[in-house]
Structure 1
Amino acid sequence: MNWTERVFKLQEHGTTVRTELVAGLTTFLTMAYIIFVNPSILGDAGMPKDSVFVATCLIAALGTTIMALYANYPIALAPGMGLNAYFAYVVVLHMGFTWQAALGAVFVSGCLFLAVSLLGLRGLIIRAIPVSLRYAITVGIGLFLALIALKSAGIVAASPATYVTLGDLHKPPALLAILGFVLIAVLDKLKVPGAILIGIVTVTVLSFFFAGNQFHGVFSAPPSIEPTFLKLDIKAAFSGGVINVILVFFLVELFDATGTLMGVAKRAGLLVPGKMERLNRSLLADSGAIFAGALLGTSSTTAYVESAAGVQAGGRTGLTALTVALLFLACLFIAPLAGVVPAYATAPALFFVACLMLRELTELDWNDSTEVIPATVTALTMPFTYSIANGLAFGFITYAALKLFTGKGREVHWMLWLIAAIFLFKYAYVGG
């Protein structure tokens, strides 16, 4: 019995080395955009892009390797979309915290995440939050991402009269962003692997000819990670304003990662008797990757739903994930290429991901106003207040209030009452 068979049990899962390698490449192509997008987004928060690039590649490789060897799951990990935008544009640029303090908040949320996974509390917390609000969190982040993407592309601009208005569509960045979005959407519909990456690369290439971008080469030795490594400020993470941030990181990590893991595992046929213990291992793998990523210098790491593409290609074991991890390590040597990707090249990817996240709206029970109204309040408040935290807070408060005043208070879990009370106290006595 060779090493791959002994570690990954390929025959038991009805797969082969070739199938797993192809599945790993497929997954990598669908999520490789993160090595361009993450440094761009966190760079807007003042973080050194080269160091973030290295941290992104390293934590994706490390987290995915743990998932491969410990849980034997065909699921890849990397810094999560949405959470990186919240980190940069809300916590740092809008709320005014340093990126070091934001990394401290990610670290603390990761420790909490790992603790609830080890203690078996993850399931209890998930059961406490209504299904409708879980869907709403995803939808709200999608709307929040959409606003950020449109702003980065120059399609949406500020207006003193109406707050937002249409930008100048004659400028190259806006036109290239629109082209990139259409290209990504078409390629995705045609099931072309790496549609998002192709869109980003296409817009970047065109930017050299039409938008004055400059080329600085492709290959180089990996940049230094020293500017972000262990630069987190844990003390600042326990200051009053960041406590709210930690809660947002924790809740979004909780529902996003858990939902992705269970969804992809179910598609791979792994949620069956005899294989469920591996799910618990996968929960620990993604929990540990969050605070490890904060130490390296990047926002929250999570399981990627793009892993479903690899599962669709036949991936069933950790060999698929290990292939992804090795490819991320290889990416360390293309830092100059990552540095020339402009914001309007990654904006189409953000907007496309945002569109996909809105599909959760179809899961709501539109006949029950006590479920739908809190969900829509949650989703709409996030972009309109430019804060995921405010969306969660108003959603929890609205849910508890509607259930209480319609005689359905027994449907509300005690933990949700507690969370709603904390948020209500905050707004009443502390303010926004």
Structure 2
Amino acid sequence: MQQARAYMGRRRRPRPIARFLVESEIDASAAATATARASAAVLTAPLSLEGGLAAELRPANLVQRVLSLFGNVRPGSDLSHFQLPATFNLPKSQLQLYGEVVYCDGGDYLSRCGTGKDSLERLAAVVAWSISTTRPPIFGFAPYNPVLGETHHVSRGSLHVLLEQVSHKPPVSALHATDEGGNVELIWCQHPVPKFHGTSIEATVYGKRQVKLPKFNETYEVDCPNLLIRLLPGPSVEWSGTVRIACNDSGLEAELSYHRSNSFMGMGGDGRCVKGKVFRSSSPEDTICEIDGYWDRTVSLKDIKSGEVSVLYDANLAIANLVTPEVKDEEGLSSSESAVVWSEVSEAILAKDWEKASEGKRKVEGTARSLEKERNEKGEVWMPKHFSLSQDKNGNWECWPLDKSVPPAPIVVPSSS
């Protein structure tokens, strides 16, 4: 893969020996121009326990329509670039969904990670925050696939979050978040791979997700659960798999299992169960704490030695009644901003004007393809603006932000008070 080879092993932006493309020339910027963007970004409510946005868009015959999409798709197929009709799209990009799990958090679980009095308390806080990033998935709807160079930049209080689509084939998204107090830093590199298995679709999210606590010199590696969409015998969508959260600096680790409880052959039971434990990496058989509950309700933490049980996570506090971001500085919006690039499409979806939505989506995606073809013909290599990245021989991606901190954004999450 030409693009992958261009990135291989590159940790710093090299001295240009050929013509490299900058932000004014990136696919997302041109795509926004091609769609004659609206005067402001289109921002929609984050996914939360209410899920009102999907309910507004859901057609009566959704299940039949979803099944018809995969009639000619072979089991085992990679769906990373499967083209969904606009009627199946949420009015937001995948970059926005990634960003929302960081900057839309009613309980501000992220800031708690840097305030624990000891390493065990800080690990527990990171576990709680990790659970807060588990948002209710919606059967039959998917976000837009971000175009190359698309960005998303949002601030909530002193926390500033920046994302960039650093690769399109395969799709790779990078995230960097910092707070002005220097308490927490996030660096993610996400590479989703959805596969069709005949009666289900499973999306595995690869890539390194780091939570850094600079004041304690601690770095936590955090996995992401898989998204499982069951088509038959009954439609459902849920998070599944094992999540590992480890801190090499403290030697502590947690393991969470997302699964369906009390089910028979995958049917029945509750699909929002989470269970796990905290232990020392050197002796995983010796459990320090047990974790048990439901990620859409409450999750408890039990100290094995003392028997004390406490509430580790409360979904009603963390992901209910979430506030929709707003544009604070329209002039400061980048033309590559997700909410700008897809503004025409999102407006049409919200108005249920499917013809206009489909036309707008074709413009954005068509412009991106044309620019890719033009670059290839000229021998140009596209470079991310905000990140450098590499891919190892096993296909794993890793990214590094080019700037030490993220600046304040033109889009903000208003105070809920």
TM over 0.5: no
Higher helix share: 1
Larger RCO of the pair (alpha carbons < 8 Å, separation 6+): 1
TM-score after normalising by structure 1: 0.29
TM-score with structure 2 length normalisation? 0.29
